[in-house]
Structure 1
Amino acid sequence: MKLTFPIVIAGLLAVFSSCAKIEHKKIDDPAYLRVFNNLNYTVSIENKDEEQPFLAMLIDPETDTSGMPVSAAIVGDFLDQRDGYAPPYPSHVGSSNSFKNPEYPGKESVLVGPVLNGFDLSSWAQIPSGKHRVMFMFRPVNNTPFFQLEERLKKKVLIDTVLQLDSHEVYTLHILQKNFRTKKNGMVLRQEVFHKMPLSDSMIYVNFYNMSADGFADADISLKKRIPQSGLLMFGVKDVMNVWFSLFTNDELRNPVPGYRFRYMTSLRQNNTSNVVQPYYSFPLFAANGTDGIRTTAWQRISLMVPGMNPENNPYNDQAPAEVLGNYAVISCYGNGTKPGFERDILTVPNMIVNIHSGTNNPQSFATVNTIEIVNGRAYLTTIQRKYPTPIY
């Protein structure tokens, strides 16, 4: 059948419109914002009165006379519980596997941050600096955009506040359960400083937060969700824990890198209200002897122990999980986050050292800046990296 001219033109217009580049309005004086939903509970018979932890973020919303939002300058919709790993690149952009967004900006097509002091801020969204009204709304778990929902489904306010975002500052916003008994929720807005620090390209940096809800650690085990992948951490950890660091280069625990067996790092205190940036601790990218200065197989193990416990003679190594009761937990940073077969009762996240094809090296190892955040029986790793040379094939 011969196509007529109008049909051909229509078809071409459809193709070009589907491939059209999205143009974003330039923001002259931005701040940079990244948002995580740390409400990691599941609604079941036991807590059926809680709202589903699935959110919409509205920045500078317009509301009607009843206070219901009808539009917003910026919308971060379908904000799901965060992933266990936030990599040093925007891994969710363009993903159509699900309508759910594990962080903001995540899948959102928005202007993102630049390379600032060498650090890649493409996982942070640009937001006009200044004062903003910010609302977080509970929403049903479906793929209907927030403002297309029925009116009765757009009235469940989680947070309604005003935030000051200063020019060219970097912010991470956390939605949290504040109290495990009362189920009170809230948020913490942290102004990051890693891009202002004199950090070395030859060192790995990490800091730690325990942002668990008040009362979670001491609550009865029967009230805590079973999270097998969290290992012993599923029970939470006490409000004060010592952090011990070990470094290994192979798949067993008998031969750590010399000088890196149970090295004390810090005392970790539970706090879900402070926005103070915790100190960074460091170790060399090429700490192991015999490396070629290009790649390393080193991986990390974080041991959390109550004060007074001797890491060299841990009495809980052979105890059943139910007897640990928050006194001991381990986080391994290994491979791509797959639990190694020789470990048990261990939560595993990806290696803090990024190994990637770069230039002519495949792979090459790169230093990073990392944050480990513990929230109600889970641990989350966020990794930030400087720009690295693109692969040469």
Structure 2
Amino acid sequence: MKRSLYILCVAVLALAACRKVDYTTIDQPAYLRVFNDLNYSQTMENMNSLYPSLCMIIDPVLDADGIPTGGKVVGDFLDKREAYAPPYPSHVGNSTSVQNPEYPGKENVLVGPILNGFDLSSWAQVPSGKLRIMFLYRPHTSTPFFELETKLKKNVLIDTTINLSAKEVYTLHVLQKDFKTKRNGLLLREESFHKLPLSDSLAYINFYNYSANGFFQADISQKPQEIPGTDRLGLFITGVKDSMNVFLSLFERQTGNVLSPVVKNYNSKYLGTVVRNNETNKVNPYYSFPLWADPKSDGIRTDIWQNLEFLGLGLDIANRPNIKSPGNYACVYFLLNGKSLPPAPLASFIGLNGIPRPNLLVSLHSGLNNPQTFATVSTLEIINSNVYLTTVQRKYPTPIYK
């Protein structure tokens, strides 16, 4: 879904009207997406910590007392990020809450174009060059930041500078760097997916462990607890070790209580090692698997689902059911069409230990095919107890209907 340069207005007293959104033209823009990764829960250990609801201001305007009164770019109501960032700006037009799980998210701003076949409408256009950027704590209310009482606009989380090159794509993370000292900071990653010679017949994914230093070693009492009805954390709840081997399995569609057949050559296939690092912003390598890995697929639609397993170094993947040590094993399984897997032996094992995320392949109505399956480029980020999936959408063929 592309953002429009116009927004539809709600009918008032049975009269419909539209208003034009006036955008500031940006010469030589960079493309920026921002996530608030401060996912800590308020416990007895950090009961005095402020809830991590933020306001982002780029090139802020300050009054004589140093209080922000405006800025070149403002991203208000920046709440904790959600577990899944889909391949389209799904938050636009969502008026149930002003809280924003990412920037631009719900903001009506100029966004990125289709760049080398990738949809950048989830990235905002911002000025390039050296920029001052501030993140300030704000109350978790619906009052805009600049309308808050003065005393509520003084809680600066981060005040620093970043450098953005024109026409480059950036993902900015606000995160906790050290669990013991509670030191926070930024991690600005310059993306490369739009520059790589990627194949439309392969799905790609890379991994990061941006967990805070010392989180895994901390006592369990300082870590989140499972809350019924919320997004499950599985064995990631304690965190994982600083170095983990990653294995990929592909499965055919599961029918009833029958064990899902493993796609040939994709039974716990070793991909690589992910190492905890929240200081450097290098892009980690992408791993791939064929869109049509299942020989039973017809080249139009496939029902395969994926499972990623993270295993401590030196451990044997064949013995994973017997691995009891916290942090040595965890897995993510990617649901088919967003639906839970039926209770079969494998699904039960995964369901007990892993966390569900949407499929790494996208199936949608395209042309005469309803649906057609397309490959994506995804990023999986482990941050303390949480696992976040971000998927980037390719430019799909224009639908042709009879």
Tell me if 1:159 matches 2:158.
yes
Q: Secondary structure at the match of 2:271?
A: strand
Tell me if 1:290 matches 2:296.
yes
Q: How does 1:362-381 map to 2 (within 5 A)?
A: 362-381=370-389
Shift of 1:306: 0.4
Other-structure match for 2:325: 324
Change (3 A) 1:379 1:390: same
Other-structure match for 1:90: 89
Q: Secondary structure at the match of 1:344?
A: helix
d(CA) in 2 for partners of 1:348 and 1:339?
Answer: 8
1:184-207 CA distances to partner (integer Å, 9 max, x unpaired)?
111100000000000000000100
Tell me if 1:212 matches 2:220.
no
d(CA) in 2 for partners of 1:337 and 1:279?
Answer: 27
Say if 2:43 and 2:222, in contact at 8 Å, map to a contact too.
Answer: no
TM-score scaled to structure 1, two decimals? 0.92
Change (3 A) 1:253 1:216: farther
Other-structure match for 1:232: 235
Say if 1:178 and 1:184, in contact at 8 Å, map to a contact too.
Answer: yes
Which has the higher Rg, Structure 1 or Structure 2? 1
d(CA) in 2 for partners of 1:85 and 1:100?
Answer: 16
1:92-118 CA distances to partner (integer Å, 9 max, x unpaired)?
011112111000000000000000001
Shift of 1:280: 0.4
d(CA) in 1 for partners of 2:80 and 2:40?
Answer: 9
d(CA) in 2 for partners of 1:12 and 1:90?
Answer: 26
The range that moved more, 226-235 or 29-38, is 226-235
Shift of 1:336: 4.7
Q: How does 1:335-346 map to 2 (within 5 A)?
A: 335-340=336-341, 341=343, 342=347, 343-346=351-354
Say if 2:200 and 2:375, in contact at 8 Å, map to a contact too.
Answer: yes
The residue type equivalent to 2:299 in the other structure is G
Q: Secondary structure at the match of 1:46?
A: helix
Q: How does 1:353-368 map to 2 (within 5 A)?
A: 353-368=361-376
1:298-327 CA distances to partner (integer Å, 9 max, x unpaired)?
11100000011111222536xxxxx43111
d(CA) in 2 for partners of 1:45 and 1:226?
Answer: 13
Q: Secondary structure at the match of 1:234?
A: helix
Say if 2:376 and 2:394, in contact at 8 Å, map to a contact too.
Answer: yes
Shift of 1:181: 1.1
Change (3 A) 1:336 1:234: farther
TM-score scaled to structure 2, two decimals? 0.90
1:201-252 CA distances to partner (integer Å, 9 max, x unpaired)?
0000100000000011111111110136111111110001100110011226
The residue type equivalent to 1:303 in the other structure is E
d(CA) in 2 for partners of 1:346 and 1:336?
Answer: 18
The range that moved more, 95-104 or 59-68, is 59-68
Say if 1:338 and 1:349, in contact at 8 Å, map to a contact too.
Answer: no
Say if 2:34 and 2:173, in contact at 8 Å, map to a contact too.
Answer: yes
Other-structure match for 1:280: 286
1:25-61 CA distances to partner (integer Å, 9 max, x unpaired)?
3222110000000111122433111111110000110
d(CA) in 2 for partners of 1:192 and 1:41?
Answer: 26
Say if 2:84 and 2:390, in contact at 8 Å, map to a contact too.
Answer: yes
Give the CA RMSD over aligned residues: 1.8
Q: Quick one: percent identity of the two aligned structures?
A: 55
d(CA) in 2 for partners of 1:72 and 1:259?
Answer: 54
Instruction: Pick the aligned partner of 1:313 from 316, 319, 323.
Output: 319
The residue type equivalent to 1:27 in the other structure is I
Say if 2:109 and 2:124, in contact at 8 Å, map to a contact too.
Answer: yes
Say if 2:135 and 2:156, in contact at 8 Å, map to a contact too.
Answer: yes
**Structure 2 unaligned regions, length at least 5:** 1-10
Other-structure match for 2:103: 104
Aligned positions, number: 377
Q: Secondary structure at the match of 1:314?
A: helix
1:268-297 CA distances to partner (integer Å, 9 max, x unpaired)?
110111100000011100001121100100
Say if 2:135 and 2:159, in contact at 8 Å, map to a contact too.
Answer: yes
Tell me if 1:334 matches 2:340.
no
Say if 1:78 and 1:99, in contact at 8 Å, map to a contact too.
Answer: yes
Change (3 A) 1:390 1:248: same
1:309-348 CA distances to partner (integer Å, 9 max, x unpaired)?
111222536xxxxx43111001011125454343222111
Say if 2:60 and 2:69, in contact at 8 Å, map to a contact too.
Answer: yes
Instruction: Pick the aligned partner of 1:244 from 238, 247, 257.
Output: 247
Other-structure match for 2:5: none
